[in-house]
Amino acid sequence: MKATEKDKYLHFVAPFEYIIQENFLEGVAFRLLQEKVSELNWITDSNEYFVQSVSSSQSTIEILEHYLLSPHFDIFYRKDFIEFLSILFSTKLSFCSHTVFHQIQQGGFNAIHNDVNDFGALLRLILYISPINNYEGGKLRLHFSDALNTIATEYKFQPNSLFGFKISQNSYHSVEKVERGNRICMVVTYS
């Protein structure tokens, strides 16, 4: 499968614009990524809205240099893929501005937020890494607004599933509390 084949993506416009693609990376490449993620150093990144850990800059750079920028993983950073995303979301994207790994452990969550920012991030891709039987809870919830009772839909993605969304005032989402285990994703941001 070519990552730039538009018909391979499920494309939604409500409650905000997003895509889903299962089996995004080749099987061998994804298994290598899963192995490397176990070597990450984690930093707690918690406040009233988020209880999670993020990969340290140094350990993310090591994975990027040795694995993500290799031919198996470079899809996220290739010009043709960024141009494809620009067309798919009708948004001019120039480059990949940030890559980080998120880990939400037992008791962790993300409160409702929309990712609107002041540093130019326009689009986020999230690659799910953890097998779904490794954690309970942790569903991604998409909301109609920032009110708690406005869940439009929720997902618990299989590993190697890609979820992408255009950042907007309406891109409200949350992650339900993880009741057991660890939920790990790779988050790629485009500006």
pTM score, two decimals?
A: 0.93
Query: Residue 40 falls within a domain, yes or no?
Result: yes
What distances in angstroms separate CA 80 from CA 95, 112, 166, 170, one per listed residue? Answer: 11, 32, 18, 28
- Is 11 inside a domain boundary? no
Check residue 67 and report its DSSP letter: I
* 10 belongs to a structural domain: no
The token pair that represents 185 in the structure block:
């994703």
In a domain, 3, yes or no: no
Q: Which domain holds residue 136?
A: 17-190
pLDDT tens for the 191 residues of the chain, in order: 456 676 789 999 999 999 999 999 988 889 988 988 888 889 998 888 888 989 888 877 777 776 666 776 788 989 999 999 999 999 999 999 999 999 999 999 999 999 999 999 999 999 999 999 999 999 999 999 998 889 999 999 999 999 999 999 999 999 999 999 999 999 999 99
pLDDT of residue 4: 63
Write the CB contacts of 56 (distance below 8 Å, at least 6 apart in sequence): 40, 41, 42, 43
SS (H, E, C) 72-132: CCHHHHCHHHHHHHHHHHCCCCCCEEEEEEEEEECCCEEEEECCCCCCCCCEEEEEECCCH
- 160: in domain: yes
Domain membership of residue 6 (yes or no) is no
The domain spanning residue 149 has which CATH number?
Answer: 2.60.120.620
Query: Does residue 165 lie within any of the structural domains?
Result: yes
Q: Does a cis peptide bond (omega within 30 degrees of 0) precede residue 131?
A: no
Q: Report the domain count for the chain.
A: 1
Q: Does residue 1 fall inside a structural domain? A: no
| Structure token digits, residue 38 | 């176990």
